[in-house]
Structure 1
Amino acid sequence: MPFAKALDLLRLANMAAARHMGVSLPEIEAEFGVNRRTAQRMTRALETVFPDIEILTDEDRRRRWRLRTDSRLLHRHVLRDSELAALEMAIQRAGRDGATHDVAALSSLRDRLLGTMPAPAARRAEADAEALLEAQGWACRPGPVARHDPGLLPLIAEALKAPHVMTIRYRTPDDAQPRIRRIEPHGVLFGVRRYLVARDTAARDGRLRHFRLDRIEEARIEAERFVRDPAFRIEEHAARAFGSWHDPAEYGPVVWRFAPEAAETAREFLFHPHQQTTDEADGSLTVRFTAGGWLEMAWHLYQWGDAVEVLEPEPLRRLVEGYRRRDLPALP
């Protein structure tokens, strides 16, 4: 059997073992990009190499191939060097981003996977992964990040699971002394600054507020639980702003037009998850979305110099108008 086909067979065996109901022919076709006849040949090879394969029929009367997970041969191929390298890079990124809870969870997963492999194979995978990491070590999130207590994120993650009420000691520029607040955490927004999205139990309006992690001086989880808003989705909440700052008064339509010389570069950006783009007759590009956070928009637009024009909203157009310059040496 050619080497590439052998690797595909092992990959198929992993799929058949990992999925509760095994794999079907349509799933094999989609995963490997093959036609029905090739998929059938692959299942025959699977039956030959793994005698303990089970052939089932699902509720749609489709045949499925399921492999018992105690197959010794399969366990010897549990983790590839590229997969280990991806795990290591994820651990490094989480560490740089201050997500210590994720570092611990990913490190535990890596160690358990390596523990299932024979010692020589594990050492070889680690060595190969180290070489890959050396070549790909640039994969991280560059740029400035506001400092905060590294123990905060694991604590917040724990509170979000139940969920539990939290008590925080929080300072703002307007407070002479930090204030004690009881909050109901709903999620976290990551950016240059990180924000905890939560309800302040003392506020009567019940709306979600953003608490900067770098301003939380102390935090603890309370025994009291609360009912999280079932309609809350962190992705939808985040989409209401361009960056991390949310201001209901600024929420509305946003329209930017990029000059023809900047249009190709602008097409490479996703400025907002719900954006719409229009190619204009003169070669320019118009981008539309709905969000707030004009100041963060202005910070970003400055990088484009005079290659972008704000059509809406009018307050944002006035905010950036005096700062559009043409001597910047490159586009973002």
Structure 2
Amino acid sequence: MSFGKAVDLLRLARMASNYSGVSLTEIEREFGCVRRTAQRMTQALEQVFADTEDHVDGDGIKRWRVPRRRVGEFFAPEADEVAALEVALSTLERDGLSREADQLRSLRSKIDLLMPDRGRARVEADEEALLEAMGHAARPGPQPASDPEVDAAIAQALKGPFVLKIRYRGRRDEAARERWIEPYGLLLGARRYLVGRDRDREDGHMRHFRVEDMEAAEATDDWFARSDGFDFDAYANRAFGVFQDEREFGEVVWRFTARAAPHAARYRFHPGQTSETAEDGSLTIRFEACGWLEMCWHLYAWGDQVEVVAPTELADMVREYQRSDFPGLP
């Protein structure tokens, strides 16, 4: 058997080790082969892995399955994969998501337990070298404060979903007061915001609650049904950052100078953006969103290398604050 075919056979064994196994159609799609080749691959699978099982599923499709214990030792994690887990863990901790960081840390421990002894030392050594080389990837700057008990309550309420009781001080409140929130999700940025409906408000609008301003939080036993038509990603994408204001929502057009265009082209300012490069080298970015103040904060860093074409209200907000003496671009 050639090296390439051996690699393909291991790939197939990995596919076949899932709960439902693998079908001929899935093999054809994964390897870009014809039915006859897929059949030969299942025959090779049965020859190499003697305890391969075949069965017909509820849809009448024949499937092959290899017990996971037989293929696990062939797929020990690589050093760069383990290092990526460590980087993700550090990012979660810096973003104040201590509960999620603990869960990822637990996953890392389970991976260590499942890793073959003979490969662990090599992976650990390579991982240490990678992390040392990636030290520059740590994100500096301010980070949101976190309260592990508040974070745990939010996580429990989101999983329910259960009504969340919080002691919260809004910007107009003289003191914190109790609120009962139906939570829908978290927006992560310079600060964290819980998105949900306040049961004391009858308008049913989604509101944002700063996690750092929750003095206490408790997941109640009061289950609620989330609105079927609510799409959290679509909701989040209506804003440039985290602030939502329907009065500001609309088309946003920024034109970057030829000097700034190469830098701007490497940014994704909004998931729904489109871009167009003009003959003079300038770059025009278009998207639909609200949150003019957060846009101003970002646009300031570009100095006089960006022009706000639309909306006019945003153009007026930034006009007097576009400096020409910044030595670099974002």
Could you state the TM-score of these two structures normalised by the residue count of structure 1? Answer: 0.87
Q: Is the 8 A contact 2:277 2:284 kept in 1?
A: yes
- How is 1:54-203 mapped onto 2 (pairs within 5 angstroms)? 54-55=53-54, 65-71=64-70, 74-75=72-73, 77-203=75-201
Following superposition, the deviation at residue 184 of structure 1 comes to 0.9
**For 1:3 and 1:107, how far apart are their aligned partners in 2?**
36
The CA deviation at 1:160 is: 0.7
How many residue pairs get aligned? The number is 330
Q: C-alpha offsets along residues 126-147 of structure 1, whole Å, 9 cap, x if unaligned?
A: 3332332222234444432232
Distance in 2 (alpha carbons) for counterparts of 1:5 and 1:113:
28
CA contact (8 A) 2:24 2:38 kept: no
Q: Distance in 2 between matches of 1:149 and 1:324?
A: 38
Moved more, 92-101 or 251-260: 92-101
Q: Distance in 2 between matches of 1:93 and 1:302?
A: 26
Residue by residue, what CA displacement relative to the aligned partner does 1:84-120 show, whole Å, maximum 9, x if unpaired? 2222222222222221222222222222232233333
Q: Is the 8 A contact 1:76 1:117 kept in 2?
A: no
Q: 1:271 aligns with which of 269, 272, 276?
A: 269
Describe the superposition over 1:227-263 as per-residue Cα deviations: whole angstroms up to 9, x where unpaired. Answer: 1122222211111110011112211111111112222
Point out the more displaced range, 194-203 or 164-173.
164-173
TM-score by length of 2: 0.88
| Alignment-mate amino acid for residue 20 of structure 1 | S
Q: Does 1:286 align with 2:284?
A: yes
Q: Which residue of 2 aligns with 1:312?
A: 310
User: Closer, same or farther in 2 for the Cα pair 1:48/1:233, shift >3 Å?
Assistant: same
C-alpha distance in 1, partners of 2:316/2:118?
Answer: 65
Q: What secondary structure is seen at the aligned counterpart in 1 of 2:230?
A: coil
Q: What amino acid is aligned across from residue 97 of structure 1 in structure 2?
A: D
Q: Secondary structure of 2:321's partner?
A: coil
CA contact (8 A) 1:265 1:331 kept: yes
Aligned to 2:215: 217
Cα shift at 1:320: 0.3
Find the counterpart in structure 2 of residue 50 from structure 1. Answer: 49
Out of 249, 267, 273, the residue aligned to residue 247 of structure 2 is 249
Check 1:33–1:91 CA distance in 2 against 1; reply closer, same or farther (3 A cut).
farther
Equivalent position SS for 1:175: coil
Q: Partners of 1:10 and 1:114 in 2: how far apart?
A: 22
Deviates most, 135-144 or 285-294: 135-144
Deviates more, 1:161-170 or 1:47-56: 47-56
Q: CA deviation at 1:47?
A: 3.8
Q: Which residue of 1 aligns with 2:13?
A: 13
The amino acid that maps onto 2:17 is A
Deviations 1:130-184 (A, max 9, x none): 3322222344444322323243223211101111111111113422211211111
In the aligned structure 2, how far is the partner of 1:23 from the partner of 1:192?
A: 46
Match of 1:324 among 315, 322, 325: 322
What pairs with 1:231-246 in structure 2 (closer than 5 Å)?
Answer: 231-246=229-244
Runs of 5+ in structure 2 lacking a partner?
none
Equivalent residue runs for 1:20-35 within 5 Å: 20-22=20-22, 24=24, 27=27, 30=30
Of 50-59 and 274-283, the range deviating more from structure 2: 50-59
Q: Give the whole-Å Cα distance in 2 for the aligned partners of 1:142 and 1:277.
A: 30
Equivalent residue of 1:158, what SS? helix
Q: How far does residue 34 in structure 1 lie from its aligned partner after superposition?
A: 8.0
**Do the aligned partners of 1:23 and 1:66 also contact (CA within 8 Å) in 2?**
no
Q: Write the distance in 1 (CA, Å) between the matches of 2:36 and 2:304.
A: 57
Q: Which deviates more from structure 2 when the two are superposed, residues 108-117 or residues 298-307?
A: 108-117
Mapped contact 2:166–2:180 kept (Cα < 8 A) = yes
Native 8 Å contact 1:145 1:191 kept in 2: no
Two-structure CA RMSD over aligned residues (Å): 2.8
Letter in 2 for 1:235: D
Are the structure 2 counterparts of residues 126 and 159 from structure 1 closer, same or farther at C-alpha, using a change threshold of 3 Å? same
Q: Structure 1's 20 and 133: CA in aligned 2 closer, same or farther, altered over 3 A? A: farther
SS at match of 1:92: helix
Indicate if the aligned counterparts of 1:10 and 1:74 stay in contact, CA closer than 8 A. Answer: no
Q: Residues 101 and 260 of structure 1: is their aligned pair in 2 closer, same or farther, counting only changes over 3 Å?
A: same
Give % identity.
48
Q: CA deviation at 1:16?
A: 1.9
Take 2:130 and 2:27, find their aligned partners in 1: how far apart are those partners? 30
Inter-partner Cα distance in structure 1 for 2:281 and 2:39: 50
